Amino acid sequence: DIVLTQSPGTLSLSPGERVSLSCRASQSVSGNYLAWYQHKPGQTPRLLILGASTRAPGIPDRFSGSGSGTDFTLTISRLEPEDFAVYYCQQYGRSPRTFGQGTKVEF
Amino acid sequence: EVQLVESGGGLGQPGGSLRLSCPASGFTFSNYAMHWVRQAPGKGLQYLSVISADGRTTNYADSVKDRFTISRDNSKNTLFLQMRSLRVEDTAVYYCVKSAHCSRVDCPDHFDYWGHGSLVTVSS
C-alpha cells in the first residue's frame, strides 16, 4: 500500500496568514491522482483539490495544490476563519486508496 | 440531491458481528463504485473498501481484509458493510462514500459525496 505522510501534524496560525501543508508518498502516485480534503468536526469531508492541482467546483482560489510524483503541497494563500480544520491528502491512483494522517490547522 | 444515510452502527462485542447499511438516493446508484471509510476517535480518516458498480469486484485495506465484506443491492440502492471478528480498534465512525465518476474499482477516482457516518463501538 502507498503510505502518505503529512507534515506538520498541527499548525497554530492566525487569520490572514499563508500556510503550506506537505504530503509525501512512499512511492510515486500514478497519474498524480492526489486529492486534498478539508474536514471539520460534525461535518463530512469536503473535496478541495483533485489531480494534485485542480480545484474542485466551488472551492475558493485561495486554495491551491501542487506537486508530482511523491511530494505534494496544499497552499492556503490567506487563511479565513472558516479554514481552521483538519486537512487530509489521499491517493486514488492505486488500490487500496490511502489517506495521510492529517494536518490540523488551528487558531 | 444526493443522500447517503448510514445505519446499523451501535455497540458490538469483541469477536462479534455488525452489518452497516447505506441506502442511497439522488443519483443512479448502479452506475457508480462505492466505498467505505472510517475515522476512529481522535484519529484520521482510514480507507477500508471499494465495490464496483455491478457488485462483482471488491478491494480491501489489509487491516480489514478477511474480516469485513462489502456488498451492494442495486435493486434497493443500498450499500452494505458486514463486519465480523470485531476488535476494540474497529471502534470508529463509518462513512459511506460515492465515487465521483467511476464504475470500476481500478478506475482512479476521487470522492464527491459522503454520508454523515454511523458510530460503531466495540466493547465488552
pLDDT for residue A38: 97
Chain B residue numbers with beta carbons less than 8 Å from the beta carbon of A1 are 61-62
- Rounded average pLDDT over A13-24: 96
Closest CA to A99 of A15, A38, A56: A38
> Is there a contact between B121 and B11 (Cβ–Cβ < 8 Å)?
yes
Answer whether A84 touches B (CB < 8 Å). no
pLDDT for residue B38: 97
Question: Is residue A107 scored above 90 in pLDDT?
Answer: no
Give the N- to C-terminal CA distance of chain A in Å, as an integer: 34
Give percent above pLDDT 70 in chain A: 100
Q: Do A44 and B47 touch (CB under 8 A)?
A: no
Report the C-alpha gap between A8 and A67 in whole angstroms: 17
| DSSP annotation string for chain A | ---EEEE-SEEE--TT--EEEEEEESS--GGG-EEEEEE-TTS--EEEEETTTEEPTT--TTEEEEEETTEEEEEESS--GGG-EEEEEEE-SSSSPEE---EEEE-
pLDDT for residue B100: 95
Digit-coded pLDDT (tens) for B41-57: 999 999 999 999 999 99
pLDDT for residue B83: 98
**Across chain A, what does the average pLDDT equal?**
95
Chain A residue numbers with beta carbons less than 8 Å from the beta carbon of B95 are 44
Per-residue confidence band for B120, with pLDDT thresholds at 50, 70 and 90:
very high
Q: Do B110 and A101 touch (CB under 8 A)?
A: no
Residue A81 in grid coordinates: 476563519
Answer whether A31 touches B (CB < 8 Å). yes
Report the C-alpha gap between B44 and B70 in whole angstroms: 21
**Across chain B, what does the average pLDDT equal?**
96
> Is there a contact between B111 and B13 (Cβ–Cβ < 8 Å)?
no
Per-residue confidence band for A95, with pLDDT thresholds at 50, 70 and 90:
confident
Placement of cell 486534498 in the chain: A36
> b vs e for A18-42, b when ≥16 Cβ sit within 10 Å of the residue's Cβ?
ebebbbbbeeebeebbbbbbbbeee
Which residue of chain B is at minimal alpha-carbon distance from A57? B112
Tally of CB atoms within 10 A around A76: 21
- Rounded average pLDDT over A2-25: 96
> Is there a contact between A1 and A99 (Cβ–Cβ < 8 Å)?
no
Chain B residue numbers with beta carbons less than 8 Å from the beta carbon of A97 are 35, 47, 50
Q: Do A96 and B61 touch (CB under 8 A)?
A: yes
Q: Do A92 and B45 touch (CB under 8 A)?
A: no
Digit-coded pLDDT (tens) for B70-101: 999 999 999 999 999 999 999 999 999 999 99
Residue A107 in grid coordinates: 487558531
Report the C-alpha gap between A100 and A26 in whole angstroms: 11
Digit-coded pLDDT (tens) for A39-89: 999 899 999 999 999 999 999 999 999 999 999 999 999 999 999 999 999
Q: Is B4 helix (H, G, I), strand (E, B) or coil?
A: strand
Q: Do B108 and A31 touch (CB under 8 A)?
A: yes
